[in-house]
Amino acid sequence: MFKQRKNRQFNYRPRFSKENQIDSSSGQTPEKEFVSRWKAEREGKRKVRGVLPVRTLILALVLLLILMYVLEKKYM
């Protein structure tokens, strides 16, 4: 009468199972191969700096506050 729900099926493969640790053509173990690829990727990336350093932003904020104070005293 009513449709019964079927159980879900998943194609789960463990990430670190012994079946997945097949030696590559380079002859290295998968762990060493992963580390070498990670180091190569890391060396290629440069550290990205912000547009303005923090010191410059703080200095601009202090100067703005001083300017606001002076203008307020002048016109009040």
Spatial separation of the C-alpha atoms in residues 15 and 68, rounded to whole Å: 60
What does the pLDDT read at residue 24?
Answer: 47
Task: Supply the range of the domain harboring residue 72.
Answer: 52-76
Domain membership flag for residue 64: yes
Any idea how long the chain is?
A: 76
Percent of the chain with pLDDT over 90: 24
Domain membership flag for residue 68: yes
What does the pLDDT read at residue 4?
Answer: 84
Stretch 14-19: mean pLDDT: 70
Stretch 1-5: mean pLDDT: 78
pLDDT band at 45 (very low <50, low <70, confident <90, very high): low
Domain membership flag for residue 37: no
Domain membership flag for residue 56: yes
Tally of structural domains, the chain = 1
Domain membership flag for residue 35: no
Q: Which tokens hold the place of 7?
A: 């159980």
Spatial separation of the C-alpha atoms in residues 28 and 22, rounded to whole Å: 10
Q: Residue 41 above 90 pLDDT?
A: no
Domain membership flag for residue 47: no
